Copies of this chain bind each other. A is one copy, B any other.
Amino acid sequence: MTHSTTDTTVQAGRDTLEAAGRLVDRWMADEVNWSSLPPQLAEAAQYGVLGGGKRLRPALVLSCCKAVGGCDEDALPAAAAIEFVHCFSLVHDDLPALDDDDLRRGRPTLHVHAGEPMAILAGDLMLAMAFGLLADAQCAADVRASLVGELAHGTSDMVAGQVYDTLGGLPDALNAIDQVRLVHRNKTGALIRAACRMGGRCGGADAASLDALTRYGEAMGLMFQIVDDMLDVTQPAEHVGKATGKDAASGKRTYPGVLGTSACHDEVNRLRDEAVAAVTALGPAASPLACLAELMAVRTR
């Protein structure tokens, strides 16, 4: 059986991503209370949050909300909150004491732009503000509380993944590929999974739909990181917008390093099919989610 990804579905995924990015960028610029902050803290946090990026996580929040019958407005605070957390994690991961990266999204990283003290504090602020956005959302209190739980646990798992990835501590009993999976399920997967579940909760998903979105999110998260690992090997920095070739240089365990490139391609295709299958039962409203999966399987940056 061959998979029939068409240019049309990939383009539809691209359109979904771009539309979500425009919506959430405008919301983050206009609806977040930047003016109450010390001016240079506001500037640093805006640099970290508003400086581009794929906006995949917000797109997943919005698309998952709509897949279960909600609308964009129901999900925009949650979409912004998860992007705040994602951007906080990039700012801190880029710090000299951690990955020591100078380039992110084609621009100097925040600690290069504003200094290390400000990058630490602005990252902290972004994380705290994410939860403030959820607390202040207009939806029902039980939905707000559930969104906080999803985001908090997703963030904790993400930090755990960063520790596994950079500081070690992986269980010796696991073989190499299961170790890589454990890193990535936490480091990247947890927040992508949380994005999907948060979108579902914003749209009032029932248990079965939330379960479908969870399986979609787990497949998407793993697929995203495998593609990321492959781009680190194959693409120049100026194309990806951040340093590449660092995984091999630092001796990190990666998917292509453990499985080889060909098996990685197979794994990407398998996970894409799994993601698409998970949301098929949700009907036509979930078709943007399928298109996002097709796009993420073939992205080159």
Contacts and interface: CB of A to CB of B under 8 A. Distances in A.
Given A124-B92, A124-B127, A141-B141, A118 B167 contact: yes
A40 B167 contact: yes
Contacts of A296: none
A153 interface: yes
A136 B150 CA distance: 10
Interface in A92-141: 92, 95, 97-98, 116-118, 120-121, 123-125, 127-132, 134-136, 140-141
B148 A144 contact: yes
A52 interface: no
A251 interface: no
A233 interface: no
Interface residues of A, number: 52
Contact of A142 (B141, B152, B159): B141
A149 B131 CA distance: 7
A152 B167 contact: no
Contacts of A140: 141
B125 A152 contact: no
Contacts of A136: 149
